[in-house]
Structure 1
Amino acid sequence: MKKLLTNNKNHNFYNSLISLFSSCKSFYINVAFINFSGLQLLLDILKQCEQKNIKGKVLTSTYLNFTEVKALKKLQEFSNISLKIFDSSEVGFHSKAYIFEFEEEYKIIVGSSNITASAFKSNIEWNLKVISKKDEEFTKEVLKEFDSLYNKAYLVEENFLNSYEDFLKNSYKSLSKEFIFKKQIKENSMQKQALENLEFLRKQKQNKALAICATGTGKTYLSAFDVKNFNAKKVLFLVHRENILNSAKLTFEKLFINKSCGIFSGNKKELSCDFLFSTIQTMSKSLHKFNSKYFDYIIFDEAHHISSPTFKKVYNYFNSNFTLGLTATPNRSDKENIYEFFDDNIAIDFRLNEAIEKSLIAPFHYFGISDIVIDYKDVKLEELSRLAKLLCVNKRVDFIIEKMLFYGNDGDKRKALAFCVNQSHAKYMCEKFNKRGFNSICLLSEDSIEKREEIIKRVQDEKDSLEIIFSVDIFNEGVDIPKINTILMLRPTTSSTIFIQQLGRGLRKVKEKQFLTVLDFIGNHNRAYLVTFALLGKRIIDKDSIKLALNNSFANLSNNTFISMDKISKEIILKQLEEENFNSFKYLKEQYFEFKNIIKTTPTLIDFIKYENSFDPKNFIDESKSYIEFVLKVEKQDLNLTEEFLKTIRFIDSHIKLKRVHEFAILNYLLENETININLAKKQILKYQEKVEEDTIYHSFRYLAYEFFDSSQIAKYEKLVYLKEDTLYKTSSFEKILEDKKLKQYIKYSIEYAVLLYEKEFGKKYYGIPFLKLYEKYNMKNIALLCNLDKIHSSFRGSGQLKYKNDYFLFINLDKQNAIKSKRYHNTFLSKDTLTWQTKPNATQDKGDGEKLIENKKHKVKLHIFVRKFISVDKKTQGFIYLGVANTISYKGEKPINLTLQLEKQLDEQLYDEFTLSV
């Protein structure tokens, strides 16, 4: 039932509210602001609710300073009401909702009325009243949204009321200045996760760690929080460039009132301070002034420089109790592995897509614009000089300017960064823009650091007329230009990695910037779809994910980020998605050389972890049995590798998709040691996981000893170890292979990649037995391993049912490619938490698995749900997504039985759309 509530001569919103308050069981109010004029009218009914012990929650905000302190203080007097304030300093709080609980239903009002006298009776207000059963999807969504906002808010306390009251008195309710409650500085979601991991590593006696955090997400604050947790007495903070010393020092001073902070660089030598902030250049020349153990905590900012001579000199000299590396990008052009400097301990690996998802960086408005001049059909994108000639035309300059003026920018002054193909293109664009009255400058790789910093300072200065910097690749990473409000992508997107790096230059949050404008001129080149890879990141399950995102204008992106592509750009991308086989050798070869071109050298497996990109080397392994074989194949080389080595590396690479770290931690130890027992293995594994069970370690020993392999697998791989009692021993063939330093390095890369990938995907959390992470992809063989199953694992494959003790694993095909088959098996979602599934053909209701499935709670059987949309995509078998535990809520028929299952955790909007919408 639905009803529109308005204010008129016969009815008003106030009367409707009073009626609901008088008969409800509980209430929830969510309004942007509360005035005493409106609250006074509710005092009598709220008192009645208090006397009847009817509980209520009230959520409001200080948005635009309209909420009155008097009203908040009055609400505090009611013992039955919990009052919270939502922090509207970063996001507007406009919601108006009144939720009333009754025996079997909720009566929910959503509309335009705040708690004011005029809103209750005289204003033009539209409010929709909905009566919804407690188990209806609408009710669940409303309550979930309220709880989400309420949990983020903070309780109204005396400290808050005093601060707000003082503000209102001094600002005279000025709308130009909004109240911000100066709460204690708290960790953001990234920092909280990293701090937990750092504590975990220290419990495992580790004294080094690397934190990889996207620019603008708060890595300096992260280091300050951890210094506080560590209770460090003497701290050294090292930077690569002098211009960020003061900002780092200011960050620490906000958290440490009782500690002295000083600068050690240039003319400043404040050596008597507790916390010292120094450039690496100054410190490398002054090591004689310090004992090697002088600092108990050292932070290397921009840690990707750590293998440079000056960084390495300082790193090797000091012997601190803990060393933390901070970087936005862990890649190095000199092939040094920076992970090794920090003992492969990753505190956090938090890249740009995750930062967008968590709203830790500035929102952006992306416009994909179909280019007017370009036809790339006969042009190879790597032929930069030829491509530049194609782009350097007056007509295209006018078109770019037209679009730049049409879409505009945040703020009064345009502060733009424009990315070009090569130097001639950048110079051409700069010249043409200046002639058309746009003050522009060209920055190239040969320009000095001093010149770059001066130009960056100028373009961000409101009073300086410079508004556009044209460059090639010098701003792809490691440069901070916080106030940039416009990015122009003037070259074809040939790499999602570079696209992400360039986009990141403008995403630092600053008060002066509400959003970043991104104009991407998309041509009809054959890799135009790569931009969608960059924008969606981990949200991509398959091609379907991209099509869905395109069709709904990427609505699933959070953080006030908007993505718009014109009709022609969409059509180009959709056509390419249909035509491209993402598993073909041709496509994989192109990916490989695209990545090689980015890093300027033959990539190792570790390089794929270092860079934020959409390249997945597991696909290369699937194509050629091992990564090294794929490289040799595409590079057309022959290293004359022995059969023993190939069978060894194939075993290791084929298990990179393993969903537990045990096997790789064990093999990593055996690279340098002859044997490993249960206790030694436990120490190795605890470096990566907060808890480990000896039964699982022993199962890993048996797995590595091929006890769960069939004869064909045993013949396919080289045996690396043998098991005797509770100890693993290296085989003689494995020892012989490891004697060759080059072959050992290939093996080490594979093992290290597997460990780093595990850390990135699973973190340190222990998920129990079976070891299952929500929304991770699995197959039956994974489950056999993660349950410590004693049977030969290759016997489990495909879909259907697998059981282990009281854990039942249901592998369900939705198979959107085959509607007839899907219909026959009745595997479909009815809502975000409810789906149907049909059992094996011989299942009956009164015995065996059939009875346990329909009465799973009675028999204490856990039903683990795994779902895949398609059996295969581009001729490659797809994994199943783990949706958690479900319970049977209804059933009918037998041989087979048709079950209706309810998930304990409902799907989010994006995943539900993935499983239900057709494109």
Structure 2
Amino acid sequence: MQQSGIYEQLITQLVEKRLDRERFYVGERTLSSNEASVWLSRFLSNILEYAISSVPTGNDQLQQQIALSNELLLWLKERLQDDGLIEENLLNSQGKILTALYELENPIAANLKQYVEDIFPLTGLTQSELFCGSNAGLSLESELKREILSADKIYWLVSFIKWAGIRIFRKELEAFTASGRELKVITTSYMGATDAKAVEYLANLPNTEVKLSYNTERERLHAKSYLFLRNTGYHTGYIGSSNLSHSALTNGLEWNLKITSQEIPHIIDKSFSTFETYWASNEFERFDGDASSTEKLNRALRQQRGSDDQSTAHFFDITPFPHQSEILEQLAVERHLHQRFRNLVVAATGTGKTLISAFDFARFLKEKPNATFLFVAHREEILKQARAAYRGVLRDGSFGELWVGSHAPAHYHQLFVSIQTLNNQLDQLNLTPDYYDYIVIDEVHHIKANSYRAVLAHFQPSLLLGLTATPERHDGGDILADFGGVIAAEIRLPEAINRRHLSPFQYFGIDDDTDLRNIAWSRGRYDIGQLTNLYTHNQARVDKIVLSLQEIVTDISQMKALAFCVSREHADYMTKQFLLKGITADILTSDNSDQRQQKQQALRSGQINVLCVVDILGKRIKWLILPLHESETDRHLIGLSG
């Protein structure tokens, strides 16, 4: 028994011997006494059917089968003991039911037990069930979500599809199709009830095909069926009155019967074969989402509705700037011409390094739709921003999971992880070196640290992309060694400013007379506690800051400034000091990071003049920079040194 998937069968002694528990996660549950008679009798009925059908053919086959049945009944009556009878099918004494079988190496989920619990249909895989709508009892909506996630192929046949109905299963359908599994949908333009947006959405999913019948005058398709095929042979289907609409799947008075291949296989087989017949019929035309098929659908829907409404769905595309396109082209040359697949990109902060990597991965994803992906950075803030960038470029709001701080992933397929978390868990991860196809290391100038070395030593991706604005390390370490000694593409700060990608700036370094010689220095930084104590008990330093602002800034009331502080206490202290000086100020730290957007907007709109921050926005000054056509393009960066 090697086929991964979900099961629902009694574990015999032979099955137990064949279960490789070293290789697979084996899902199982204990057989309860109140269900034992059903399970045991069902099991014995299969064995009896096999035994009786094994009677040799001949003129007296029927008589021989009847005689054998009588002999078995007599045996049961006399409670005959025979350990050799159908020996291979003796049940395991523990009385367990096999529920799942998944590879332990490169697992489909981080917690396989929880994963199986989340996708296993609550009504099981072997018994029929009637759903009567109105959310009475078990919800058809929630059960179909589990069916989607646990299936290997999905065939849906409905007379119309509403966008509100698709929204119910959007997350599950995207996960299903992104994993390489097949979705086929047949629908119609009957009565104009179908939403074009829903059809277009389905057609744009990977591994998905949609066919429509426009012949609604002669052939009116009223069937509604949802079929789910599984490689394990445990197929299920739902046949009833519910179209793919929100009301029909949730609170409508709809009846839908669940059928299973284990209980009524002939019904499942007929459902599949009928679907395939419809799919092959010329009455159903493929909708591929191009201009001609979209126009034909909209025209048919307008005709059925008796309406001239020509509204269509529109999507917002993020496209690279010219300098980003140049870097993407240079990356392509490195790989296709020079056959170098470990690439270093050096780009000044603000030029969109993360977006460049997202565009590059989007290109890679077209060539390999099921690509596994890993993005490594050293801070949660960077990981969240990176994931948002990738979701925007890929137009996939569910792309990627976080593994940092309190965030834990359900899967490892698309991961945004902190280097600290990954390094701490590396020995426990049961992932092969080639598990990830595409790996991005942000702030790659840290790559010489031991934590990064372990990760690089373990994983061997098809593509490795390093991102940094500062490849030169203060300790003289050479990061190019990990990238074949070559910078694949670069745009440095002077070039970015000269090409008008970034605003020019002025830097003012001001001596504030603070003596830091007595502050402890370790691991490349001053002691935060000592530094905080020094800065929050230094009124002269505050006065120097305000005086410098008055000397340099034309109008403080129009100023928009970030004040980088060493700690929460320091930020709170400076905020109060600015307010006492008549300068509107606010604070943004990890403690109130959920208010980040409001605080940023307050600064942009001029409601506040200074935003005091700690470990936030340190690399995001670009969101403050005004458009280049402003009369004064020079921005002032004021630094105080001890």
TM-score (structure 2 length as normaliser): 0.37
Bigger relative contact order (CA 8 A; separation at least 6): 2
